[in-house]
Amino acid sequence: MSVSGVVVVVLVVLVAAYAVILYNALVRLKHGVGKAWANIEVLLKQRHDELPKLVETCKQYMQHERTTLEQVIAARNAVASAREKHDLGALGQAESGLRAGLGQLFALAENYPELKANESFQFLQQRISGLENGIADRRELYNEAVNLNNVRIEQFPDVLIARGFGFRSAELLEFSAAEKADVDLKQLFG
């Protein structure tokens, strides 16, 4: 084999090795997005399981607040439906509705001293608040994984491998403008 033939073979092997390295990096990013989503789902499921307990505890004390309790359950069901369908747009809207309902529920609980003193209510309130913080943290990690994936599959030369093997961009988990707005404490406690 001639020197030019050896050079061609070496170049082909190097290009193939580089393509394999790029492919493997894209696979890691894709699975990183999936892992980050699974971590969010764990917390959404835990919160989903805790909300009926909270509503049931509140029902015993808040007979006149049925509308708020029903809104929380409806929002919980909307989150579960969007989560099962992997519809991130609907999930963001449902999450906003659920957070608003929970905020209203916790604000109304201030009017019921017996409820506020109830150990079960206190535990559930702390548990759900902790889950909310965890969801926010994991949402940030998920969106970072999505961003890394999306940037990488659009960069050259990665885009050649990404298109060739059908890698797709992932969707960010965003909440509505109402979710991002400042909380109006006067309205909550008014």
What's the CA gap between 13 and 34, in Å, rounded? 32
What's the CA gap between 153 and 139, in Å, rounded? 21
33 to 15, 29, 170: CA distances (angstroms): 27, 6, 8
- Which residue is listed with tokens 């696979």? 27
Q: What is the pTM of this model?
A: 0.77
Within 10 angstroms of residue 49's Cβ, the number of other Cβ atoms is 11
| Residue 13 pLDDT | 95
User: How many Cα atoms are found within 13 Å in the side-chain-facing hemisphere of 52?
Assistant: 5
Percentage above 70 pLDDT, the chain: 92
Considering its fold, how many domains does the chain have in total? 1
| Residue 176 pLDDT | 64
pLDDT digits (tens, 9 = 90+) for 70-127: 889 999 999 999 988 888 888 888 988 898 889 888 888 888 888 888 888 889 999 9
> 185 pLDDT exceeds 80?
no
User: Which of 12-21, 52-61, 133-142 has the lowest average pLDDT?
Assistant: 52-61
User: Crossing angle, helix 3-59 and helix 119-154, to 10 degrees?
Assistant: 160
Judge whether 71 and 101 are in contact, CB under 8 Å: yes
| Residue 177 pLDDT | 55
CATH number of the domain where residue 65 is located: 1.20.1440.20
Range of the domain at 89: 3-189
